[in-house]
Amino acid sequence: MKIAVAGAGGMGGRFALCLHQSGNDVILIDQWQANIKAIRKDGLTASLNGKVITDQIPIYYPDEIDEKNEKVDLILAMVKSPQLDQMFHAISPIIQDDTYVLCLMNGIGHEDTLSRYVNPGHILSGTTMWTATMKGPGLLELNGEGSIDIQNIRPEGKQAADKVIEVLNQAGLNARYSDNVLASIWRKACITGGLNALTALLECNNMELRSLRVFDAIILEIVKEYIAVAEKEGIHLNQTEMIEAIQDYCRPTVNGFAFTSMYQDLIQNHRITEIEYMNGAISRKGKQYGIPTPYNELLTQLIHAKEQLLTAF
Amino acid sequence: MKIAVAGAGGMGGRFALCLHQSGNDVILIDQWQANIKAIRKDGLTASLNGKVITDQIPIYYPDEIDEKNEKVDLILAMVKSPQLDQMFHAISPIIQDDTYVLCLMNGIGHEDTLSRYVNPGHILSGTTMWTATMKGPGLLELNGEGSIDIQNIRPEGKQAADKVIEVLNQAGLNARYSDNVLASIWRKACITGGLNALTALLECNNMELRSLRVFDAIILEIVKEYIAVAEKEGIHLNQTEMIEAIQDYCRPTVNGFAFTSMYQDLIQNHRITEIEYMNGAISRKGKQYGIPTPYNELLTQLIHAKEQLLTAF
């Protein structure tokens, strides 16, 4: 199978390596210059459960992709959320009518972005338990075992899902079909949607956030809006279950002492956040479906405000 | 007339002094121990447009007021917003059926608090252009001229307003009746409601706030909620006028470089804010009238969250 892995970070690199080693025709597409230079010069090197292997995999900048490139059968979407639209715009020349896309990225609304470039019946969503660490340009540390759960976002995509699962399993990636992938993506998004923006805005960790007297009241409104929008997308989330999951996530023995990724991005590193793929997606989809989502909308606006104050954005 | 001035700060002190000097029977009620000790020992001293005068005015702690005290004809409410309820609870023994109350405090909802202790037909709202500076316990600096605009909050209060205006004018306080007092209190509240919570939350001055790309969108929602609630209270605010007033307030040549009182309270001094008498009042009144006020509600909750994180509260 001809496969393009869009995003040659840790996870993209892992999947590209396994798929290439199992005999597929794989290319990488990435924007990080040092990474591209290293992989072109020395190949992609990984410590795979302690054993060092190196593999020569072609790698391209997105804007090197043009009509001359061969069409691909499958694209793995593995970029950072804000890069997805630009990436697929650039690589559209290699997308043909029967190209499948498997998106393993966190966040809400990626399928809407992908639908602008790919037949929605060919879009697959997934979650993965594989991990990967990028040790430097072209250099990966890959430990442990993992798995991939896959679900088609449209009924007609089931056949595509089965085919992609087969290819992933030939590469030893433990893929399986699951009816729960979309719901589990939404559940994860609802938890991060409840915590990330608030911790970044109030500059506290999960446990401190949980200790606030207004916590339950704010979380309730956020979750209710997530549930209403999810329902319109055919995903049923349970309110009590979601609220308990958020509270549980903040326990000292779970993630209480941790700072959310949005706190790290905005407060520690003064970087633009992924708010548009969390609460911002709920606000956008709410408008689209005619559902009021004022809590998610104001939180999105306040994070954008803080981005503008703290970064050069 | 027997008059109690509740709150012996700068403004309360000024009015007490003028009313006492013009022959009224005046008492002060205050909670600041050093102030009470100084006034009891040396009287209330003021530099009044450069001329130093001292006046002996009886002063009491709120909990010294009991059934033995004489009833009063007029109470001036001049305390900090969060103290109003407790103050009127404590001084209720001196409130009789025909006691009037004139409230000259900033913020929304004070008449609701006062209505628990005073016949609403006897409650008067006012705005004032007088100024005062507290130089120390029992020590005031009073410069310039001013005026007081008064309006009854219920139609039956007009006669009370006229009577109070007469007494204030005998004391040289330039009081007059105005049909616009309630509207002007709401307009002022809407401007502070648009700016105070946001500047405290995002830790910026008015001009920085105004420069945010999300500013107009957030302000629009806040103002719409203020207008909907005000309408239920018989006050008509114009949306375009309010938004322009807020934008204008943030201009560098107006108050752009200034930090709001809520920023000063919360960020600079780590003190509890007056949010409950700003956006919090809109949220409470919204619930009471069945009007959704999610922007003001979430802003109130976020300020309370920040109060809990930054103060010992």
Domain that holds residue A13: 2-179
- Measured between CB atoms, which of B215, B294, B306 is closest to A294? B294
Q: E strand or H helix at A140, and its extent?
A: strand A139-142
pLDDT at B52 over 80: yes
Which residue in B has a C-alpha nearest to residue A198's C-alpha? B302
Number of structural domains in chain A: 2
| Secondary structure (DSSP) of chain B | -EEEEE--SHHHHHHHHHHHHTT-EEEEE---HHHHHHHHHH-EEEEETTEEEEE---EE-GGG--TTSPPEEEEEE-S-GGGHHHHHHHHGGGEEEEEEEEE--SSS-HHHHHTTTS-GGGEEEEEE----EEEETTEEEE-S---EEEEESSGGGHHHHHHHHHHHHHTT--EEE-TTHHHHHHHHHHHHHHHHHHHHHHT--HHHHHTSTTHHHHHHHHHHHHHHHHHHTT----HHHHHHHHHHHTSTTTTTTPPPHHHIIIIIT----SGGGTHHHHHHHHHHHT---HHHHHHHHHHHHHHHHHS--
Q: What is the pLDDT of residue B66?
A: 85
Instruction: Compute the nearest-CA separation of B186 from chain A (Å).
Output: 23
For position B123, which CATH number holds?
3.40.50.720
Same domain, A90 and A123: yes
CB B175 within 8 A of CB B148: yes
For position A288, which CATH number holds?
1.10.1040.10
pLDDT at A87 over 70: yes
Same domain, B90 and B228: no
Instruction: Compute the nearest-CA separation of B276 from chain A (Å).
Output: 14
pLDDT at A312 over 90: no
Same domain, A19 and A168: yes
Instruction: Note whether B302 contacts A204, CB cutoff 8 Å.
Output: no
User: How far is residue A109's CA from residue A88's CA, in Å, rounded to a whole number?
Assistant: 14
Q: What is the pLDDT of residues B123-155, one digit of tens each?
A: 999 999 898 989 999 999 999 999 999 999 999
Mean pLDDT of chain A: 95
Same domain, B116 and B173: yes
Q: What is the pLDDT of residues B12-39, one digit of tens each?
A: 999 999 999 999 999 999 999 999 999 9
Binning pLDDT at 50, 70 and 90, where does residue B313 land? low
With a pLDDT cut of 70, the percent of chain A lying above it is: 99
Q: Which residues of B touch A263 (CB under 8 A)?
A: none
Mutate to test the interface with A, among B308, B310, B313 (most CBs of A within 10 A): B308
Instruction: Note whether A308 contacts B212, CB cutoff 8 Å.
Output: yes
Same domain, B127 and B209: no
Residue where a domain stops, chosen among A161, A179, A197: A179
Same domain, B280 and B299: yes
Residue where a domain stops, chosen among A179, A195, A227: A179
Secondary structure, 3-state, A8-59? CCHHHHHHHHHHHHCCCEEEEECCCHHHHHHHHHHCEEEEECCEEEEECCCE
pLDDT at A67 over 90: no
How many A-B residue pairs are in contact by the CB < 8 A criterion?
73
Same domain, A62 and A113: yes
Which residue in B has a C-alpha nearest to residue A215's C-alpha? B305
Q: What is the pLDDT of residue A68?
A: 80
Q: What is the pLDDT of residues B247-305, one digit of tens each?
A: 999 999 888 998 998 999 999 999 999 999 999 999 999 999 999 999 999 999 999 99
Instruction: Note whether B202 contacts A305, CB cutoff 8 Å.
Output: yes
Same domain, B61 and B87: yes
Instruction: Note whether A294 contacts B299, CB cutoff 8 Å.
Output: no
Q: What is the pLDDT of residues A14-54, one digit of tens each?
A: 999 999 999 999 999 999 999 999 999 999 999 999 999 99
Instruction: Compute the nearest-CA separation of A12 from chain B (Å).
Output: 35
Same domain, B172 and B202: no
Q: What is the pLDDT of residues A101-139, one digit of tens each?
A: 999 998 899 999 999 999 999 999 999 989 898 999 999
Q: What is the pLDDT of residue A212?
A: 97
The residue-averaged pLDDT of B177-205 equals 94
Which residues in B117-128 are b (16+ Cβ under 10 Å) and which e?
Answer: bbbbbbbbbbbb
Same domain, B153 and B199: no
Taking residue B14's Cβ as centre, other Cβ atoms within 10 Å add up to 25
Q: What is the pLDDT of residue A313?
A: 60
Same domain, B134 and B222: no
Same domain, B190 and B174: no
Mutate to test the interface with B, among A302, A310, A313 (most CBs of B within 10 A): A302
Instruction: Note whether B201 contacts A301, CB cutoff 8 Å.
Output: no
Residue where a domain stops, chosen among A142, A160, A179: A179
ipTM of the complex: 0.86
Q: Which residues of B touch A284 (CB under 8 A)?
A: none
Binning pLDDT at 50, 70 and 90, where does residue B67 land? confident
